A and B are shown apart, each in its own frame.
Chain A
Amino acid sequence: MASLRDIKKRIDSTSKMKKITKAMEMVSASKMNKAEQNAKAFVPYSEKMQEVVASIAKHTDATHPMLQKREVKKTGYIAITADSGLAGAYNANVLRHLNNTIQKNHSSSDEYTVIAIGRMAVDFCKKRNFPVAKSIIGLPDQPSFAFIKDIASETVQMYSDQEIDKLVIIYNHYVSAISQVVTTNQLLPIENMDTTTGSSSQYEYEPGEEEILAVLLPQYAESLIYGSLLDAKASEHAARMTAMKSASDNASDLIDDLSLSYNRARQAAITQEITEIVGGASALE
């Protein structure tokens, strides 16, 4: 049985650890709230964008490369992860999904390329020798659109330049504070546009439909990337909060168990001492 002092030491270190995980839990909770607000602030923009694009797509025969399927020679995957761990299965889920998708669909590394967002994705791809077209690390907790704009527009440009023929995004979708689901979305070419939401009014287009689509669709694709990123950030903070909460809970359990054995050991020591005294006294009689 461990000595009293050893148990005491473990209780102390566990409670220090618990303090830290508790603090991290609270920090993540407030970051999650903020991220949720950011995601909400983005909704009006994305809805309006969707509405206008859908109504143009509905009323015109104008075509644009981004609306047309073409033979897929190379697929681009955007993987959104965090920069750091300690977020439960948050990063692992995305990376496992990415790995499975690539193994299933591609036989050579010429057929795909990865746009890695977050240090975890960058390291993962490096380790597995996945070709990485672009990467970004050090994203702030509350990314503004300006921060992601460059990588988003460069990625959309890759599609326009026919470097890639399909663009897929993999990230954790935020369902609620306790549930995040890995989601795979095809961003480009834009398919199954929901035309029912488009407004019924017929617009006048200045200068012309094709020109408008040429301006609008890249912006639409960029906004989808940004939307996914906001979603992923909210999930990240939620996942981290849950992970830290269960770490704190586990620490509490451990401290309870250890306190119990500490008290048992203390009692045993006292009992032994009394037995010895009584034994010594009766030997003298």
Chain B
Amino acid sequence: MKTLTVSVVTPDGPVLEDTYEMVSCKAENGELGILPGHIPLVAPLAISAVRLKRDSGEDKLAINGGFLEVRPDKVTILAQSAEKPSEIDVARAQKARERAEQRLRSNDDHIDRLRAELALRRAANRLDVAQNN
């Protein structure tokens, strides 16, 4: 089976570099599945989970603010944050979700709704990745 080298890089340093058979992720306008030999591609990623598949199993990462660069034999994911399920602080994510929900419910004009929504999405994504592992 042909493989791809996947590297995930964040401003705080590289998170992961390994070979996989398939990368499955969610771009801004839909799901993307990348197999070896894909044409060169650049696409921004939604706040979502990236799934990396190979024979021995599947790895998941919670991605925020990232994009994907594909070359035929290499996939690079640049993200503002990328966490493995084991690295996610569930309690903190839960708190962040509650806080964001509260903000959105409060109907106060002073609140930056967009930011609260993004915070909610980030927290929900982290929880999703941490729990469905």
Contacts and interface: CB of A to CB of B under 8 A. Distances in A.
Interface residues of A, number: 30
Contact of B78 (A49, A144, A205): A49
A211 B27 CA distance: 12
Interface in B58-81: 65, 67, 69, 71, 76, 78, 80-81
A145 B12 contact: yes
A180 to B, nearest CB: 22
Contacts of A203: 40-42, 69
A285 interface: no
B10 interface: yes
Contact of B43 (A146, A205, A219, A223): A205
Interface residues of B, number: 24
| Main secondary structure on A side of the interface with B | helix
A201 B40 CA distance: 7
Given A45-B11, A219-B65, A146 B81 contact: yes
B40 to A, nearest CB: 5
Given A48-B78, A52-B78, A206-B29, A212 B11 contact: no
Contact of A205 (B14, B42, B71): B42
5 contacts: A41-B13, A52-B69, A205-B41, A206-B32, A207-B43
Given A145-B80, A206-B27, A219-B65, A52 B42 contact: yes
Nearest to A41: B13
Interface in A179-212: 201-207, 211-212
